[in-house]
Amino acid sequence: MDGNGRWAKERGWPRLKGHEQGALNVERICEACIDEGVEFLTLYAFSTENWKRPAHEVAGLMLLLERFLSEKVAMMNRNGVRLTAIGRIADLPGPARKRLERAIGETAHNTRLTLTLALNYGGRDEIVDAVRSIAAEVGERKLDPSQISAETISNHLYTRTMPDPDLLIRTSGEMRISNFLLWQLSYTEIHVTRKLWPDFGAEDLHAAILDYASRDRRYGSSVENLPSPSNAS
């Protein structure tokens, strides 16, 4: 969700104002995803690298997260949105972590859209954590090293209960993956838009999905018309 800071700077406002507008946009995009039939939406909300930002900005982002979770649970329940989270959640500040856990519990019964917030998330860290978990099972003789496969690794990632993404949308014209879902994005289609995240609306989501639908997904094969996954993300 890139461009919050630039959106605020263009208006002469502090960066946190841009983050506030970005948080408000989440509801609009959730509703648009439901209208489009998207079943999984994952938002890169706070990376492990974001801790390096100025302390006042990080503190403001954590307070914004708490406020978002407090104010948007009713919206999520109204629209059938189930909230989940991936990342090193245990390292979040206590109040934010507890509010997140409460919101996850309060929306657990919803089935129309799974909204996953990537919080204190890094793709390399996720793979490191998966390797540590696998190594522990090998050490406990629960797993034979010769049996380790790509499926084994997938089953130890934060996203093990989710399908791999079909579509990655980068706002604000960024042309990099930025340490996001490094394992899962192997065959994901990428759509880049110059729209800043606070300005990214339902019509932009629809355009991205149309772009995705026009592509021939071969998954590394030369065979035409391979079936695409039944789940969208």
Query: What is the pTM for the complete model shown?
Result: 0.92
Length of the chain: 233
Q: Which of 173, 213, 206, 207 is nearest to 192 (CA)?
A: 173
211: pLDDT strictly greater than 60 = yes
pLDDT at 115: 98
pLDDT interval class at 131 (50, 70, 90): very high
pLDDT at residue number 228: 47
Residue 218 pLDDT: 77
**Domain locations in the chain?**
4-212
Please tell me the distance from the alpha carbon of residue 187 to that of residue 216, in angstroms, as a whole number.
12
- Sheet with 40-47: strands ordered across: 40-47, 113-121, 81-86
- Rounded to an integer, the average pLDDT of 202-224 is 86
The verdict on whether 225 is a catalytic residue reads: no
222: confidence class by pLDDT, cuts 50, 70, 90: low
Which CATH number is correct for 4-212, 3.10.129.10, 3.90.280.10, 3.40.1180.10, 3.20.20.70? 3.40.1180.10
Q: What is the pLDDT of residues 41-58, one digit of tens each?
A: 999 999 999 999 999 999
pLDDT digits (tens, 9 = 90+) for 112-124: 999 999 999 999 9
Averaged pLDDT of the chain: 94
Burial group, residue 111, by CB count within 10 angstroms (0-12, 13-18, 19+): exposed
Please, what sign has the CA dihedral across residues 11, 174, 117, 202?
Answer: positive
Q: Which entry of 2, 4, 79, 164 is annotated as an active-site residue?
A: 2
Catalytic residue among 4, 35, 50, 164: 50
Q: What are the helix (H) ranges across 140-230?
A: 150-154, 202-213
What are the pLDDT digits (tens) for 14-41? 999 999 999 999 999 999 999 999 999 9
Which tokens is 35 given? 């209208």
Rounded to 5 degrees, what angle do the CA atoms 158, 160, 161 make?
A: 115
Write out the DSSP string of 108-146. Answer: TT--SEEEEEEEEE-HHHHHHHHHHHHHHHHHTTSS-GG
> Residue 220: what pLDDT?
72
Active site residue 144: no
- The residue among 103, 91, 31 whose CA lies nearest residue 66 is 103
Q: Are 169 and 208 in contact (CB under 8 A)?
A: yes
Contacts for 17 with CB less than 8 Å, ≥ 6 apart: 8, 11
The predicted-structure confidence for 72-91, as pLDDT tens digits, reads as follows 999 999 999 999 999 999 99
